[in-house]
């Protein structure tokens, strides 16, 4: 399968963080199984977000209504005591299905860090299940849903763009609402660009005819806080320029743009210990003998 170029926000973030990491993630990983394995390591905060997203995706695809209180609590506990425990055991064994960065690089994990991950998952799921967005979506009915955790590609005036949309539906007033679940507490630095990308996709799909017919929502599930906004046309213009410039910068380092081919030597390393020590590829840049890991992880009691 050819390694085709497609701009995404995560790709931009990686490129801006470290060019060598970008090369490993988007070029070497497609050819080298070990680099591909390292690419898919998950750190604790990312793991929490994945568990929440996966649980909500299953709920949206398998249910026709928000479950009652008792079943909600059963779903939350299953996410922790079944899904997370299974992931942890796979990771400890060095399994192919799931591996934590902390296990791979024998990083000590404090009990407080473990408790924090569990708390993020439980609070996020409880707040999502009790919150207004899921209730609104189910009350409208699935015939008004447009996307659930869908990975899509679209052409933005010559630049291929890839994005994943958590949830999109048409509300009772005919507006298209695009929801992004967040398990962090703060605004991300690229949130506006991310939401604009969703809006651009909705326009190209013909879901709406004008930006004013769109609403975007950042659902901060831990807090909880739901920030729903109208879409302004000038933010889409700014986002288009941003995406085109970012894609051009990425492709400027390629050995062959048409074939999307890259060379390691054209993507320099950085020397920033705070970033490098938490990088999935650190053993490729700084080879050293790894210490044997250990750490049984009894999950803390549910809060």
**Using 50, 70 and 90 to split pLDDT, how confident is the model at 13?**
very high
Quote the CA–CA distance of 173 and 165 in Å, as a whole number. 21
Q: What residue ranges do the domains of the chain occupy?
A: 18-130+269-285, 141-251
pLDDT tens column, 160-217: 999 999 999 999 999 999 999 999 877 667 788 999 999 999 999 999 999 999 999 9
Q: What is the mean pLDDT of residues 132-150?
A: 97
Predicted confidence at residue 188, as pLDDT, reads 66
Predicted confidence at residue 298, as pLDDT, reads 47
pLDDT tens column, 47-80: 999 999 999 999 999 999 999 999 999 999 999 9
CATH of domain 141-251: 3.40.1350
Q: What is the mean pLDDT of residues 220-238?
A: 95
Q: What is the dihedral of CA 117, 297, 96, 293, to 10 degrees?
A: 120
What residues have CB less than 8 Å from 292, skipping those under 6 apart?
A: 106
């Amino acid at each position: 399968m050819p390694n085709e170029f497609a701009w995404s926000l995560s790709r931009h973030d990686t490129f801006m963080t470290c060019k060598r990491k970008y090369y490993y993630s988007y070029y070497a990983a497609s050819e080298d199984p070990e680099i591909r394995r390292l690419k898919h390591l998950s750190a604790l905060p990312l793991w929490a977000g994945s568990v929440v997203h996966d649980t909500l995706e299953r709920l949206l695809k398998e249910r026709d209504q928000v479950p009652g209180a008792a079943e909600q609590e059963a779903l939350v506990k299953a996410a922790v005591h079944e899904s997370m425990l299974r992931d942890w055991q796979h990771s400890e064994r060095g399994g192919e299905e799931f591996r934590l960065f902390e296990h791979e690089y024998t990083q000590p994990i404090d009990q407080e860090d473990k408790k924090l991950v569990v708390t993020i998952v439980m609070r996020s799921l409880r707040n999502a299940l009790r919150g207004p967005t899921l209730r609104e979506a189910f009350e409208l009915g699935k015939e008004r849903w447009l996307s659930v955790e869908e990975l899509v590609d679209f052409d933005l005036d010559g630049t291929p763009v890839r994005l994943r949309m958590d949830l999109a539906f048409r509300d009772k007033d005919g507006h298209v609402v695009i929801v992004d679940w967040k398990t962090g507490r703060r605004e991300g630095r690229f949130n506006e660009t991310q939401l604009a990308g969703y809006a651009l996709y909705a326009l190209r799909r013909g879901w709406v005819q004008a930006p004013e017919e769109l609403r975007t929502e950042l659902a901060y599930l831990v807090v909880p806080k739901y920030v729903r906004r109208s879409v302004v046309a000038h933010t889409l213009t700014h986002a288009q320029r941003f995406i085109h410039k970012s894609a051009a910068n990425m492709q400027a380092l390629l050995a062959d743009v048409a074939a999307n081919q890259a060379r390691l030597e054209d993507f320099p390393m950085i020397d920033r210990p705070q970033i490098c020590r938490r990088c999935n590829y650190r053993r490729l840049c700084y080879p050293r003998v790894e210490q044997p890991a250990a750490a049984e992880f009894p999950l803390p009691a549910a809060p």
